[in-house]
Structure 1
Amino acid sequence: MSERGAVAVADPALAGLAERFGLPWGDAAELLLVRRDGRLVLAGDPKRYGHPLAVEFASGKAAHRRRFGGGRGQLIARACGLGRGVTPAVVDATAGLGRDAFVLASLGAEVLLVERVAAIAALLEDGLARARAYPQTVEIAARMHLAHGDATRDLQRLVAEAGVPPQVVHLDPMFPHRDKSALVKKEMRLFRVLAGDDVDAPRLLEAALDVATHRVVVKRPRKAPPIAGPPPRHVIEGKTSRYDLYVHRALTATSGNRRCP
Protein backbone atom coordinates (compact mmCIF):
# COMPACT_ATOMS: atom_id res chain seq x y z
CA MET A 1 0.00 0.00 0.00
CA SER A 2 1.38 3.45 -0.88
CA GLU A 3 1.67 6.19 1.71
CA ARG A 4 -0.96 8.25 -0.10
CA GLY A 5 -3.49 5.43 0.11
CA ALA A 6 -2.62 4.57 3.70
CA VAL A 7 -2.79 7.98 5.39
CA ALA A 8 -5.03 11.04 5.25
CA VAL A 9 -5.58 14.27 7.16
CA ALA A 10 -8.87 14.16 9.06
CA ASP A 11 -8.87 17.53 10.85
CA PRO A 12 -10.08 20.62 8.91
CA ALA A 13 -7.83 22.76 11.13
CA LEU A 14 -4.83 21.07 9.47
CA ALA A 15 -5.54 22.40 5.98
CA GLY A 16 -2.19 24.17 5.75
CA LEU A 17 -0.31 21.05 6.81
CA ALA A 18 -2.14 18.88 4.27
CA GLU A 19 -1.27 21.30 1.48
CA ARG A 20 2.35 21.70 2.56
CA PHE A 21 3.04 17.98 2.66
CA GLY A 22 0.77 16.96 -0.21
CA LEU A 23 -1.45 14.76 1.95
CA PRO A 24 -5.06 13.88 1.02
CA TRP A 25 -8.18 14.62 3.04
CA GLY A 26 -10.56 12.01 4.42
CA ASP A 27 -11.45 9.87 7.38
CA ALA A 28 -11.51 6.44 5.74
CA ALA A 29 -7.75 5.88 5.38
CA GLU A 30 -5.99 3.22 7.43
CA LEU A 31 -4.02 5.92 9.28
CA LEU A 32 -5.20 9.43 10.13
CA LEU A 33 -3.26 12.57 11.04
CA VAL A 34 -5.15 14.43 13.77
CA ARG A 35 -4.35 16.80 16.62
CA ARG A 36 -4.87 15.47 20.12
CA ASP A 37 -3.86 17.02 23.43
CA GLY A 38 -1.81 19.69 21.70
CA ARG A 39 0.18 17.24 19.57
CA LEU A 40 -0.05 16.05 15.98
CA VAL A 41 -0.52 12.27 16.02
CA LEU A 42 -0.83 9.49 13.50
CA ALA A 43 -3.61 7.17 14.62
CA GLY A 44 -4.87 3.84 13.35
CA ASP A 45 -6.54 0.69 14.65
CA PRO A 46 -5.13 0.37 18.19
CA LYS A 47 -5.21 -3.43 18.02
CA ARG A 48 -2.84 -3.34 15.06
CA TYR A 49 -0.84 -0.15 15.65
CA GLY A 50 -1.13 0.53 19.35
CA HIS A 51 -1.20 4.07 20.72
CA PRO A 52 -1.26 7.03 18.30
CA LEU A 53 2.24 7.95 17.15
CA ALA A 54 3.74 11.36 17.84
CA VAL A 55 7.23 12.86 17.85
CA GLU A 56 8.22 13.87 21.36
CA PHE A 57 11.59 15.35 22.28
CA ALA A 58 10.87 17.12 25.58
CA SER A 59 9.69 14.08 27.56
CA GLY A 60 9.58 10.30 27.53
CA LYS A 61 12.37 8.23 25.98
CA ALA A 62 14.09 11.22 24.37
CA ALA A 63 14.34 13.07 27.67
CA HIS A 64 15.62 9.97 29.47
CA ARG A 65 18.27 9.33 26.82
CA ARG A 66 19.33 12.99 26.89
CA ARG A 67 19.96 12.76 30.63
CA PHE A 68 21.23 9.21 31.01
CA GLY A 69 22.20 7.95 27.53
CA GLY A 70 25.96 8.10 28.00
CA GLY A 71 26.89 11.32 26.22
CA ARG A 72 29.65 11.07 23.63
CA GLY A 73 30.37 7.51 24.68
CA GLN A 74 27.21 6.31 22.91
CA LEU A 75 27.74 4.15 19.83
CA ILE A 76 26.08 6.65 17.50
CA ALA A 77 28.21 9.51 18.81
CA ARG A 78 31.42 7.53 18.36
CA ALA A 79 30.37 6.39 14.89
CA CYS A 80 29.55 9.93 13.77
CA GLY A 81 32.88 11.23 15.02
CA LEU A 82 31.78 13.27 18.03
CA GLY A 83 35.05 12.99 19.87
CA ARG A 84 36.87 15.28 22.23
CA GLY A 85 36.99 18.70 20.61
CA VAL A 86 35.22 17.45 17.47
CA THR A 87 31.55 18.21 16.70
CA PRO A 88 30.78 17.64 13.02
CA ALA A 89 27.63 18.70 11.20
CA VAL A 90 25.51 15.64 10.47
CA VAL A 91 22.88 14.88 7.86
CA ASP A 92 20.46 12.20 9.06
CA ALA A 93 19.17 11.08 5.68
CA THR A 94 16.69 8.57 7.16
CA ALA A 95 15.33 10.70 9.99
CA GLY A 96 12.30 8.62 11.02
CA LEU A 97 11.03 9.93 14.36
CA GLY A 98 14.20 11.97 14.88
CA ARG A 99 15.52 10.04 17.87
CA ASP A 100 19.08 9.63 16.59
CA ALA A 101 19.15 13.20 15.33
CA PHE A 102 18.03 14.44 18.74
CA VAL A 103 20.86 12.56 20.45
CA LEU A 104 23.43 14.09 18.10
CA ALA A 105 21.96 17.59 18.46
CA SER A 106 21.91 17.22 22.26
CA LEU A 107 25.68 16.63 22.04
CA GLY A 108 26.15 19.88 20.12
CA ALA A 109 25.95 18.81 16.46
CA GLU A 110 24.03 20.70 13.81
CA VAL A 111 21.75 18.08 12.25
CA LEU A 112 19.71 18.10 9.06
CA LEU A 113 16.83 15.61 9.26
CA VAL A 114 15.78 14.33 5.84
CA GLU A 115 12.51 12.37 5.79
CA ARG A 116 10.79 11.19 2.63
CA VAL A 117 7.49 9.95 4.16
CA ALA A 118 5.18 12.97 4.27
CA ALA A 119 3.21 11.88 7.33
CA ILE A 120 6.37 11.26 9.35
CA ALA A 121 7.85 14.57 8.20
CA ALA A 122 4.69 16.29 9.43
CA LEU A 123 5.07 14.62 12.84
CA LEU A 124 8.71 15.74 12.96
CA GLU A 125 7.75 19.33 12.15
CA ASP A 126 5.23 19.31 15.00
CA GLY A 127 7.63 17.69 17.47
CA LEU A 128 10.38 20.20 16.66
CA ALA A 129 7.99 23.13 17.06
CA ARG A 130 7.01 21.93 20.54
CA ALA A 131 10.63 21.24 21.50
CA ARG A 132 11.53 24.82 20.54
CA ALA A 133 8.95 26.06 23.02
CA TYR A 134 10.28 23.98 25.92
CA PRO A 135 13.14 25.51 27.98
CA GLN A 136 15.11 22.27 28.37
CA THR A 137 15.12 21.45 24.65
CA VAL A 138 14.95 24.84 22.91
CA GLU A 139 18.72 25.02 22.26
CA ILE A 140 18.88 21.41 21.09
CA ALA A 141 15.92 21.82 18.72
CA ALA A 142 17.51 24.98 17.30
CA ARG A 143 20.31 22.76 15.97
CA MET A 144 17.82 20.45 14.21
CA HIS A 145 16.68 21.38 10.69
CA LEU A 146 13.98 19.45 8.80
CA ALA A 147 13.82 18.74 5.07
CA HIS A 148 11.02 16.72 3.47
CA GLY A 149 12.34 14.87 0.44
CA ASP A 150 13.78 11.65 -0.95
CA ALA A 151 17.47 11.37 -0.09
CA THR A 152 18.05 8.70 -2.73
CA ARG A 153 17.27 11.26 -5.47
CA ASP A 154 17.64 14.72 -3.98
CA LEU A 155 20.14 14.57 -1.12
CA GLN A 156 22.58 17.02 -2.65
CA ARG A 157 19.85 19.58 -3.34
CA LEU A 158 18.26 19.19 0.10
CA VAL A 159 21.61 19.67 1.82
CA ALA A 160 22.42 22.73 -0.29
CA GLU A 161 19.04 24.32 0.43
CA ALA A 162 19.32 23.71 4.16
CA GLY A 163 22.84 25.11 4.42
CA VAL A 164 24.04 22.32 6.73
CA PRO A 165 27.63 21.29 5.86
CA PRO A 166 27.40 17.55 5.07
CA GLN A 167 30.51 16.39 6.92
CA VAL A 168 28.85 13.19 8.17
CA VAL A 169 25.82 11.46 6.66
CA HIS A 170 23.99 9.04 8.94
CA LEU A 171 21.80 6.29 7.46
CA ASP A 172 19.48 3.86 9.22
CA PRO A 173 17.58 2.20 6.36
CA MET A 174 14.61 -0.03 7.10
CA PHE A 175 15.93 -3.58 7.16
CA PRO A 176 13.74 -6.22 5.44
CA HIS A 177 12.15 -8.46 8.07
CA ARG A 178 12.66 -12.20 7.82
CA ASP A 179 10.47 -13.44 10.66
CA LYS A 180 7.58 -12.42 12.85
CA SER A 181 9.84 -11.15 15.63
CA ALA A 182 10.71 -8.11 13.53
CA LEU A 183 7.06 -7.07 13.63
CA VAL A 184 6.55 -7.32 17.36
CA LYS A 185 6.67 -3.56 17.82
CA LYS A 186 3.42 -2.03 16.61
CA GLU A 187 5.29 1.17 15.81
CA MET A 188 7.36 -0.78 13.27
CA ARG A 189 4.18 -2.07 11.62
CA LEU A 190 3.07 1.51 11.11
CA PHE A 191 6.40 2.44 9.51
CA ARG A 192 6.24 -0.50 7.13
CA VAL A 193 2.74 0.50 6.01
CA LEU A 194 4.03 3.97 5.11
CA ALA A 195 7.54 3.31 3.86
CA GLY A 196 7.98 -0.40 3.23
CA ASP A 197 11.49 -1.87 3.23
CA ASP A 198 14.36 0.26 1.94
CA VAL A 199 15.07 -1.82 -1.14
CA ASP A 200 16.86 1.22 -2.58
CA ALA A 201 19.45 1.26 0.26
CA PRO A 202 22.38 0.81 -2.20
CA ARG A 203 21.30 3.97 -4.05
CA LEU A 204 20.93 5.78 -0.74
CA LEU A 205 24.47 4.78 0.25
CA GLU A 206 25.78 5.95 -3.11
CA ALA A 207 24.05 9.33 -2.72
CA ALA A 208 25.42 9.69 0.82
CA LEU A 209 28.97 8.88 -0.30
CA ASP A 210 28.70 11.56 -3.01
CA VAL A 211 27.58 14.21 -0.51
CA ALA A 212 29.47 13.51 2.74
CA THR A 213 32.80 15.33 2.95
CA HIS A 214 34.24 13.14 5.71
CA ARG A 215 32.28 9.96 6.41
CA VAL A 216 29.06 8.01 5.96
CA VAL A 217 27.72 6.05 8.93
CA VAL A 218 25.25 3.20 8.37
CA LYS A 219 23.34 1.58 11.24
CA ARG A 220 22.63 -2.13 10.69
CA PRO A 221 21.37 -5.08 12.72
CA ARG A 222 24.48 -6.66 14.22
CA LYS A 223 24.40 -9.83 12.08
CA ALA A 224 23.04 -8.28 8.88
CA PRO A 225 25.23 -8.01 5.77
CA PRO A 226 26.54 -4.59 4.78
CA ILE A 227 24.61 -2.63 2.17
CA ALA A 228 25.58 -3.70 -1.34
CA GLY A 229 28.38 -1.50 -2.62
CA PRO A 230 31.85 -0.59 -1.41
CA PRO A 231 32.89 -2.28 1.83
CA PRO A 232 32.97 -0.23 5.02
CA ARG A 233 36.40 0.80 6.28
CA HIS A 234 35.54 0.39 9.96
CA VAL A 235 32.82 -1.28 12.02
CA ILE A 236 31.65 -0.36 15.53
CA GLU A 237 29.58 -3.13 17.12
CA GLY A 238 27.02 -3.06 19.93
CA LYS A 239 24.91 -5.81 21.46
CA THR A 240 22.12 -5.77 18.87
CA SER A 241 23.29 -3.36 16.19
CA ARG A 242 26.46 -2.06 14.58
CA TYR A 243 27.68 0.95 12.63
CA ASP A 244 29.46 0.54 9.29
CA LEU A 245 31.80 3.47 8.62
CA TYR A 246 32.74 4.64 5.13
CA VAL A 247 35.53 7.16 5.61
CA HIS A 248 36.66 9.77 3.07
CA ARG A 249 38.95 11.66 5.46
CA ALA A 250 39.54 12.04 9.18
CA LEU A 251 37.53 14.41 11.33
CA THR A 252 39.78 16.75 13.31
CA ALA A 253 39.24 19.57 15.78
CA THR A 254 39.62 22.09 12.94
CA SER A 255 37.44 20.27 10.41
CA GLY A 256 34.81 18.92 12.79
CA ASN A 257 33.24 21.95 14.47
CA ARG A 258 30.87 23.34 11.90
CA ARG A 259 27.80 25.50 12.26
CA CYS A 260 25.14 26.52 9.83
CA PRO A 261 25.81 29.81 8.03
Structure 2
Amino acid sequence: MLTPSNTSIAVAGSGLADIAGLRQLALDLDLPFLGTVDPRHVRNFSMLLYGDEQGLCLQVTGKGAPGPVRAAFDTGKAGYRLEHGGGTGQLIARAVGLQKTRQPLRILDATAGLGQDAFVLAGLGCSVTLLERSPIVHALLADGLERASLNAAAAPVVERMELIREDSANWLEGSEPDVADVIYLDPMFPHRDKSALVKKEMRVFRDLVGDDDDAPALLRAALVRATYRVVVKRPRKAPPVTGIEPATRLEGKTSRYDIYPIKALPVR
Protein backbone atom coordinates (compact mmCIF):
# COMPACT_ATOMS: atom_id res chain seq x y z
CA MET A 1 0.00 0.00 0.00
CA LEU A 2 1.31 3.45 -0.95
CA THR A 3 1.91 6.13 1.66
CA PRO A 4 -1.09 8.52 1.82
CA SER A 5 -0.61 11.77 -0.07
CA ASN A 6 -2.37 15.12 -0.36
CA THR A 7 -2.04 14.86 -4.14
CA SER A 8 -5.36 13.84 -5.68
CA ILE A 9 -4.13 12.65 -9.07
CA ALA A 10 -1.27 10.46 -10.22
CA VAL A 11 -0.11 8.80 -13.45
CA ALA A 12 -0.27 5.03 -13.90
CA GLY A 13 -1.01 2.38 -16.49
CA SER A 14 -2.05 -1.16 -17.22
CA GLY A 15 0.29 -3.95 -18.23
CA LEU A 16 -0.46 -3.13 -21.89
CA ALA A 17 0.46 0.56 -21.63
CA ASP A 18 3.60 2.40 -22.72
CA ILE A 19 5.02 2.58 -19.19
CA ALA A 20 8.13 4.50 -20.23
CA GLY A 21 5.97 7.10 -21.95
CA LEU A 22 3.71 7.38 -18.91
CA ARG A 23 6.73 7.83 -16.64
CA GLN A 24 7.91 10.72 -18.82
CA LEU A 25 4.40 12.21 -18.82
CA ALA A 26 4.39 12.14 -15.02
CA LEU A 27 7.73 13.98 -15.00
CA ASP A 28 6.45 16.55 -17.50
CA LEU A 29 3.31 17.20 -15.42
CA ASP A 30 5.11 16.96 -12.07
CA LEU A 31 2.73 14.23 -10.89
CA PRO A 32 3.41 11.06 -8.88
CA PHE A 33 4.02 7.95 -11.00
CA LEU A 34 2.58 4.67 -9.70
CA GLY A 35 3.71 2.33 -12.48
CA THR A 36 1.44 -0.60 -13.32
CA VAL A 37 -1.65 -0.63 -11.09
CA ASP A 38 -5.31 -1.56 -11.06
CA PRO A 39 -7.32 1.66 -10.48
CA ARG A 40 -9.84 -0.25 -8.37
CA HIS A 41 -7.14 -0.92 -5.79
CA VAL A 42 -5.79 2.64 -5.49
CA ARG A 43 -6.91 4.36 -2.30
CA ASN A 44 -4.67 7.39 -1.84
CA PHE A 45 -5.38 9.19 -5.12
CA SER A 46 -8.89 10.10 -6.23
CA MET A 47 -8.02 10.04 -9.94
CA LEU A 48 -5.45 8.58 -12.28
CA LEU A 49 -4.20 9.81 -15.62
CA TYR A 50 -4.18 6.24 -16.82
CA GLY A 51 -2.72 4.55 -19.88
CA ASP A 52 -4.00 1.29 -21.33
CA GLU A 53 -4.29 -0.45 -24.70
CA GLN A 54 -6.74 2.23 -25.85
CA GLY A 55 -4.50 5.17 -24.98
CA LEU A 56 -4.72 7.77 -22.23
CA CYS A 57 -7.76 8.34 -20.03
CA LEU A 58 -8.87 9.93 -16.79
CA GLN A 59 -9.97 7.25 -14.36
CA VAL A 60 -11.59 7.69 -10.96
CA THR A 61 -10.12 5.20 -8.49
CA GLY A 62 -11.71 2.71 -6.11
CA LYS A 63 -14.32 0.02 -6.46
CA GLY A 64 -17.52 0.96 -8.25
CA ALA A 65 -16.00 4.06 -9.86
CA PRO A 66 -17.38 5.25 -13.22
CA GLY A 67 -15.53 4.15 -16.33
CA PRO A 68 -12.70 6.05 -18.00
CA VAL A 69 -13.06 9.43 -19.68
CA ARG A 70 -11.12 9.84 -22.93
CA ALA A 71 -10.73 12.35 -25.73
CA ALA A 72 -12.11 10.04 -28.41
CA PHE A 73 -12.64 11.16 -32.00
CA ASP A 74 -13.02 7.88 -33.87
CA THR A 75 -15.36 6.13 -31.42
CA GLY A 76 -18.45 7.06 -29.38
CA LYS A 77 -20.51 10.09 -30.41
CA ALA A 78 -17.68 11.61 -32.43
CA GLY A 79 -17.18 8.32 -34.28
CA TYR A 80 -20.90 8.07 -35.03
CA ARG A 81 -20.94 11.60 -36.44
CA LEU A 82 -17.83 10.83 -38.44
CA GLU A 83 -19.46 7.75 -39.96
CA HIS A 84 -22.95 9.15 -40.53
CA GLY A 85 -22.12 12.76 -41.21
CA GLY A 86 -23.83 15.94 -40.10
CA GLY A 87 -24.37 19.08 -42.13
CA THR A 88 -24.55 22.78 -41.50
CA GLY A 89 -28.05 22.34 -40.11
CA GLN A 90 -26.58 21.18 -36.81
CA LEU A 91 -27.20 23.66 -34.03
CA ILE A 92 -23.50 24.35 -33.42
CA ALA A 93 -22.94 24.89 -37.16
CA ARG A 94 -25.79 27.39 -37.30
CA ALA A 95 -24.47 29.13 -34.19
CA VAL A 96 -21.03 29.79 -35.69
CA GLY A 97 -22.65 30.89 -38.98
CA LEU A 98 -21.87 28.10 -41.43
CA GLN A 99 -25.27 28.49 -43.10
CA LYS A 100 -24.55 32.14 -43.83
CA THR A 101 -21.22 31.83 -45.63
CA ARG A 102 -19.52 29.62 -48.19
CA GLN A 103 -16.07 30.43 -46.90
CA PRO A 104 -14.31 27.97 -44.58
CA LEU A 105 -14.17 29.65 -41.20
CA ARG A 106 -11.25 29.99 -38.79
CA ILE A 107 -12.57 28.95 -35.40
CA LEU A 108 -10.82 29.47 -32.08
CA ASP A 109 -12.14 27.06 -29.46
CA ALA A 110 -10.87 28.84 -26.36
CA THR A 111 -12.18 26.25 -23.87
CA ALA A 112 -11.35 23.02 -25.68
CA GLY A 113 -12.22 20.43 -23.00
CA LEU A 114 -12.41 17.02 -24.67
CA GLY A 115 -12.56 18.62 -28.12
CA GLN A 116 -15.90 17.21 -29.26
CA ASP A 117 -17.34 20.48 -30.56
CA ALA A 118 -14.05 21.39 -32.24
CA PHE A 119 -14.10 18.03 -34.01
CA VAL A 120 -17.62 18.64 -35.30
CA LEU A 121 -16.62 22.04 -36.70
CA ALA A 122 -13.42 20.68 -38.25
CA GLY A 123 -15.50 17.93 -39.82
CA LEU A 124 -17.60 20.64 -41.48
CA GLY A 125 -14.50 22.16 -43.10
CA CYS A 126 -13.46 24.77 -40.50
CA SER A 127 -9.88 25.14 -39.36
CA VAL A 128 -9.98 25.00 -35.57
CA THR A 129 -7.41 26.12 -33.01
CA LEU A 130 -8.00 24.54 -29.60
CA LEU A 131 -6.75 26.25 -26.44
CA GLU A 132 -6.64 24.23 -23.22
CA ARG A 133 -5.03 25.50 -20.05
CA SER A 134 -5.33 22.37 -17.90
CA PRO A 135 -2.14 20.33 -18.49
CA ILE A 136 -4.01 17.11 -17.70
CA VAL A 137 -6.88 17.80 -20.10
CA HIS A 138 -4.32 18.92 -22.69
CA ALA A 139 -2.56 15.55 -22.32
CA LEU A 140 -5.87 13.73 -22.88
CA LEU A 141 -6.59 15.83 -25.97
CA ALA A 142 -3.12 15.36 -27.42
CA ASP A 143 -3.43 11.60 -27.00
CA GLY A 144 -6.89 11.53 -28.56
CA LEU A 145 -5.82 13.58 -31.56
CA GLU A 146 -2.75 11.40 -32.09
CA ARG A 147 -4.86 8.25 -32.04
CA ALA A 148 -7.44 9.78 -34.38
CA SER A 149 -4.70 10.76 -36.83
CA LEU A 150 -4.10 7.03 -37.38
CA ASN A 151 -7.72 6.48 -38.40
CA ALA A 152 -8.29 6.87 -42.15
CA ALA A 153 -11.65 8.59 -41.75
CA ALA A 154 -10.70 10.85 -38.84
CA ALA A 155 -7.22 11.88 -40.03
CA PRO A 156 -8.37 14.52 -42.57
CA VAL A 157 -10.51 16.14 -39.89
CA VAL A 158 -7.72 16.12 -37.30
CA GLU A 159 -5.42 17.85 -39.82
CA ARG A 160 -7.67 20.90 -39.53
CA MET A 161 -7.25 20.98 -35.72
CA GLU A 162 -4.34 22.63 -33.90
CA LEU A 163 -3.97 22.10 -30.13
CA ILE A 164 -2.20 24.66 -27.95
CA ARG A 165 -1.58 24.38 -24.21
CA GLU A 166 -2.24 27.91 -23.04
CA ASP A 167 -4.52 29.98 -20.84
CA SER A 168 -7.03 31.47 -23.26
CA ALA A 169 -7.23 34.92 -21.64
CA ASN A 170 -3.44 35.29 -21.72
CA TRP A 171 -3.26 33.97 -25.28
CA LEU A 172 -5.95 36.37 -26.50
CA GLU A 173 -4.33 39.29 -24.73
CA GLY A 174 -1.11 38.64 -26.60
CA SER A 175 -2.75 38.08 -29.99
CA GLU A 176 -3.67 40.50 -32.75
CA PRO A 177 -7.24 41.53 -33.63
CA ASP A 178 -9.03 39.24 -36.10
CA VAL A 179 -7.17 36.22 -34.69
CA ALA A 180 -10.18 34.07 -35.68
CA ASP A 181 -13.38 34.50 -37.64
CA VAL A 182 -15.37 33.05 -34.76
CA ILE A 183 -14.32 32.48 -31.15
CA TYR A 184 -16.19 29.66 -29.44
CA LEU A 185 -16.48 29.35 -25.65
CA ASP A 186 -17.90 26.51 -23.58
CA PRO A 187 -16.83 27.48 -20.05
CA MET A 188 -17.52 25.51 -16.90
CA PHE A 189 -19.88 27.57 -14.75
CA PRO A 190 -21.04 27.05 -11.16
CA HIS A 191 -24.69 26.02 -11.00
CA ARG A 192 -27.09 23.97 -8.93
CA ASP A 193 -28.84 22.09 -11.71
CA LYS A 194 -28.42 18.45 -10.64
CA SER A 195 -29.30 17.17 -14.11
CA ALA A 196 -26.14 18.80 -15.46
CA LEU A 197 -24.07 16.57 -13.18
CA VAL A 198 -25.42 13.34 -14.60
CA LYS A 199 -22.87 13.00 -17.35
CA LYS A 200 -19.74 11.17 -16.32
CA GLU A 201 -17.47 13.64 -18.10
CA MET A 202 -19.06 16.58 -16.30
CA ARG A 203 -18.64 15.03 -12.87
CA VAL A 204 -15.01 14.13 -13.46
CA PHE A 205 -14.15 17.47 -15.07
CA ARG A 206 -15.69 19.48 -12.26
CA ASP A 207 -13.56 17.55 -9.78
CA LEU A 208 -10.47 18.09 -11.92
CA VAL A 209 -10.61 21.66 -13.22
CA GLY A 210 -13.31 23.41 -11.18
CA ASP A 211 -15.40 26.31 -12.48
CA ASP A 212 -14.25 28.91 -15.00
CA ASP A 213 -14.68 31.97 -12.82
CA ASP A 214 -12.86 34.13 -15.37
CA ALA A 215 -15.49 33.54 -18.08
CA PRO A 216 -16.73 37.17 -18.15
CA ALA A 217 -13.18 38.44 -18.73
CA LEU A 218 -12.62 35.76 -21.37
CA LEU A 219 -15.78 36.79 -23.21
CA ARG A 220 -14.71 40.44 -23.19
CA ALA A 221 -11.30 39.50 -24.57
CA ALA A 222 -12.89 37.32 -27.24
CA LEU A 223 -15.14 40.15 -28.42
CA VAL A 224 -12.06 42.28 -29.07
CA ARG A 225 -10.22 39.58 -31.03
CA ALA A 226 -12.93 37.83 -33.10
CA THR A 227 -13.68 39.05 -36.62
CA TYR A 228 -17.35 38.13 -37.05
CA ARG A 229 -18.83 36.70 -33.86
CA VAL A 230 -18.35 35.06 -30.49
CA VAL A 231 -20.46 32.03 -29.56
CA VAL A 232 -20.92 30.81 -25.99
CA LYS A 233 -22.38 27.37 -25.26
CA ARG A 234 -24.51 27.16 -22.11
CA PRO A 235 -26.90 24.71 -20.43
CA ARG A 236 -30.33 25.58 -21.84
CA LYS A 237 -31.73 27.13 -18.66
CA ALA A 238 -28.53 28.72 -17.38
CA PRO A 239 -28.06 32.50 -17.31
CA PRO A 240 -25.76 34.12 -19.87
CA VAL A 241 -22.22 35.14 -19.02
CA THR A 242 -22.30 37.95 -16.51
CA GLY A 243 -22.09 41.46 -17.90
CA ILE A 244 -22.95 41.13 -21.58
CA GLU A 245 -26.29 40.11 -23.07
CA PRO A 246 -26.17 38.05 -26.28
CA ALA A 247 -27.88 39.45 -29.38
CA THR A 248 -29.58 36.14 -30.11
CA ARG A 249 -29.81 32.55 -28.91
CA LEU A 250 -30.23 29.11 -30.44
CA GLU A 251 -31.76 26.53 -28.11
CA GLY A 252 -31.59 22.75 -28.22
CA LYS A 253 -33.02 20.17 -25.83
CA THR A 254 -30.28 20.48 -23.22
CA SER A 255 -27.95 23.24 -24.36
CA ARG A 256 -28.09 26.74 -25.81
CA TYR A 257 -25.79 28.88 -27.94
CA ASP A 258 -25.55 32.58 -27.06
CA ILE A 259 -24.42 34.57 -30.09
CA TYR A 260 -22.54 37.88 -29.92
CA PRO A 261 -22.23 39.25 -33.49
CA ILE A 262 -19.51 41.72 -34.38
CA LYS A 263 -20.12 42.13 -38.10
CA ALA A 264 -21.85 40.19 -40.88
CA LEU A 265 -20.22 37.03 -42.17
CA PRO A 266 -19.12 37.15 -45.83
CA VAL A 267 -21.67 35.54 -48.13
CA ARG A 268 -19.00 34.21 -50.53
Query: Normalising TM by the smaller chain, what interval?
Result: 0.7 to 0.9
Q: Say if 1:110 and 1:144, in contact at 8 Å, map to a contact too.
A: yes
Match of 2:11 among 9, 18, 21: 9
- Aligned pair count? 246
TM-score normalised by the chain length of structure 1: 0.86
Aligned residue in 1 for 2:112: 95
SS state at 2:223 partner: helix
**Structure 1 range deviating more: 51-60 or 8-17:** 8-17
Please give the secondary structure, in 2, of the residue aligned with 1:72.
Answer: coil
2:10–2:32 contact (8 Å) kept in structure 1: yes
Q: Percent identity?
A: 50
C-alpha root-mean-square deviation of aligned residues, in Å?
Answer: 2.2
Cα distance in 2, alignment partners of residues 134 and 68 from structure 1: 16
Residue 47 of structure 1 and its aligned partner are, at CA, apart by 5.6
CA distance in 2, matches of 1:147, 1:49: 31
Selected match of 1:186 from 200, 222, 233:
200
Assess if the C-alpha contact under 8 Å between 1:81 and 1:87 holds in 2: no
Q: Which has the higher strand share?
A: 2
Question: Does structure 2 conserve the Cα–Cα contact (< 8 Å) formed by 1:105 and 1:140?
Answer: yes
For the pair shown, the structure with the greater C-alpha radius of gyration is 2
Paired position in structure 1 for 2:256:
242
What displacement does 1:8 show? 2.2
Q: Counterpart in 2 of 1:126?
A: 143
Separation in 2 of the partners of 1:94 and 1:189? 17
Matched position secondary structure for 2:33? coil
Q: TM-score, normalised by structure 2?
A: 0.84
Of the two structures, which has the highest relative contact order with CA contacts closer than 8 Å and spacing of 6 or more? 1
SS at match of 1:86: coil
The corresponding residue for 1:175 is 189
Task: Give matches, 1:21-32, under 5 Å.
Answer: 22-27=29-34, 28-32=44-48
Contact 2:107-2:129 at 8 Å conserved across structures: yes
Measure the CA separation in 1 of the matches of 2:152 and 2:127: 19
Contact 1:151 1:207 in 2 (8 A): no
- Compare the two structures and name the one with the higher helix fraction: 1
Q: Structure 2 CA distance, aligned partners of 1:242 and 1:109?
A: 21
Whether the aligned pair in 2 keeps the contact of 1:8 and 1:23 (CA below 8 Å) is no
1:143 is the counterpart of 2:168: no
Please, which of 53, 58, 62 is the counterpart of residue 78 of structure 2? Answer: 62
